[in-house]
Amino acid sequence: MGRKDLLLFWSWESFRVLGVLFSQAKIATLAHLDSLADGTPNSIGDRFMGANGRIGANLFTYNEELFDQPLFDEQFS
The pLDDT tens digits of the residues spanning 2-15 come to 777 777 777 878 87
In angstroms, the CA 42 to CA 47 distance is: 6
pTM flag (> 0.95): no
The reported pLDDT for the residue numbered 38 is 58
The pLDDT tens digits of the residues spanning 20-74 come to 777 777 777 776 666 665 555 555 555 555 555 455 444 445 555 555 555 555 5
Alpha-carbon dihedral sign for residues 57, 60, 64, 66: positive
Q: Which amino acid is at 37?
A: A
Residue 16: band (very low, low, confident or very high) from pLDDT cuts 50, 70, 90: confident
